[in-house]
Amino acid sequence: MRSKLLIRSGKYEDAHCLAALATQVWLHTYATDGITAEIAAYVISELTPGNYSSVLGDPSCHVFVAQNGNSLVGFSVIKFNTRGPVDSNSSVELQTLYVQENFIGHGVGTLLLRAAEAKARQRSNGALWLTVNAKNARAIAFYARHGYTMIGTTYFALGEGRHENHVLVGPNA
């Protein structure tokens, strides 16, 4: 890590950086066989500055960013009052947890997860639920180390494809 890492709440001015960072992390994580038309359409239409501006302005969401110097290197998004596809005692979804590949393994993901859990504790029992791609072994191991357990399965639709996801809940759920 080149300079001191700061975890702070997201602000409107971050929308462009969040869109670029999300696109980079998403493509690196999921587009491992190249770019299909479905992948291109998803990234270009969903991971946009406009959508991130909406999330940043949504009182039912909270964004944390990891800032290294002047650069954003990761972020997390939680959404309150959402029930998962599988019943649990958690009503707060961890919608996103992304760390730029160059900063993986330095504790950034843990700091962003802890910040999200602490914010969730202010409004609920603090337990988060989330979905993670069943092939995303690194993220699954990361959540397991943080006490997250699998409670079911759901599917993420992309074009014609359905991608198996694990539904996880954090401690206290």
Ligand X SMILES: CC(C)(COP(=O)(O)OP(=O)(O)OC[C@H]1O[C@@H](n2cnc3c(N)ncnc32)[C@H](O)[C@@H]1OP(=O)(O)O)[C@@H](O)C(=O)NCCC(=O)NCCS
Residues in contact with ligand X by CB under 6 A are 25, 29, 97-99, 104-110, 130, 132, 136, 138-139, 142, 145
CB of 12 to ligand X, least distance (A): 23
CB of 116 to ligand X, least distance (A): 11
Which residue number places its CB atom closest to ligand X? 109
Alpha-carbon span 115 to 121, nearest angstrom:
10
Pair 97, 170: CB distance under 8 Å: no
Of 25 and 65, CB closest to ligand X: 25
Residues 6 or more apart whose Cβ sits within 8 Å of residue 135: 164
CB of 132 to ligand X, least distance (A): 4
Of 15 and 139, CB closest to ligand X: 139
Sheet architecture: strand order including 61-68? 5-9, 61-68, 71-79, 92-99, 128-133, 161-169, 149-158
Structure tokens at 155: 């599917």
Structure tokens at 170: 């954090």
CB of 36 to ligand X, least distance (A): 19
Of 51 and 146, CB closest to ligand X: 146
CB of 170 to ligand X, least distance (A): 12
Of 44 and 144, CB closest to ligand X: 144
Alpha-carbon span 148 to 163, nearest angstrom:
21
- The alpha carbons of the chain give a radius of gyration, in whole angstroms, of 15
Of 57 and 171, CB closest to ligand X: 171
